[in-house]
A = this chain, B = another copy of it.
Amino acid sequence: MELDIRIKMNEKLYLRNPEESALGKKIVRNGIQLINKLGFEEFTFKKLATDSGTTEASIYRYFENKHRLLMYLISWYWNYLEYKVVFSLNNLKDPELKLKTIIKLLVEDHQNKDLNSDYISEKEAYRLLIWEGSKAYLTRSIAKDNKDRLFKPYKDLCERFSKVIREYNPTYKFSHSLASTILEMAHSLKFFKQNLPALTDFPKEPDDKKIVLFLETLLFSAIAK
């Protein structure tokens, strides 16, 4: 079985909905790849146009600028991740197990073959988040972007996470801060492990069990009853 999941995206993210045309999907699919290849700074709509066999002008009909395209992609990822969390937590009763499940979802390389989107690769989106994720909010347009509710997916995920934290320990006072700490550091530590390993204690092994272990012990010691 393959579930073709469709995520409803905030309309402020685009000028024309890229999901509704072959070109739109191509722009998104090639866009994420090209940003991953070049890095966001070196990435341009011109290059994406050439890469996708279309023109700059056509891309501008879908996205106002490259920052909005990045927002679209990151936003998609947070939505997707929340969806995965909901899916994976279904039928789980034990808050401890729920929390461990969330951490695994945050850290594990994404290779889910059941859940899948028809045009955005999970793996590419994950890499994008790790390398470019914080550039989505570290801008002067954050107030406006926030007003446009572009960060809702991230906040929703954080809120869902923090609820499970409070389920585990209702007296813990910093559930949101703790949730965003785990969210942020899951990705930062993956980056550090690869690029600045001195900032971590993780050897360059293929799996990320140590990161999971670190985040788990950090989380559970913080909320110990």
Contact = CB atoms under 8 A, between A and B. Distances in A.
Contacts of A143: 195
A184 interface: yes
A209 interface: no
B177 A214 contact: yes
Top 7 closest pairs, chain A to chain B, by CB: A39-B140, A180-B199, A221-B221, A155-B198, A174-B214, A176-B201, A177-B200
Given A177-B200, A177-B211, 16 more contacts: A39-B140, A42-B140, A131-B138, A134-B134, A137-B196, A138-B191, A154-B196, A158-B198, A175-B201, A176-B200, A177-B214, A181-B185, A181-B218, A184-B184, A185-B185, A222-B222
A42 B140 CA distance: 9
Nearest to A213: B174
Copies of this chain, whole number: 2
Interface string A119-155: 0000000000001101101111011001000010011
Chain A binding surface, main DSSP class: helix
The number of chain A residues touching the other chain, given as a range, is 35 or more
A177 B188 CA distance: 10
A154 B201 contact: no
B137 A195 contact: yes
Contacts of A176: 198-201
A13 interface: no
Contacts of A184: 184-185, 188
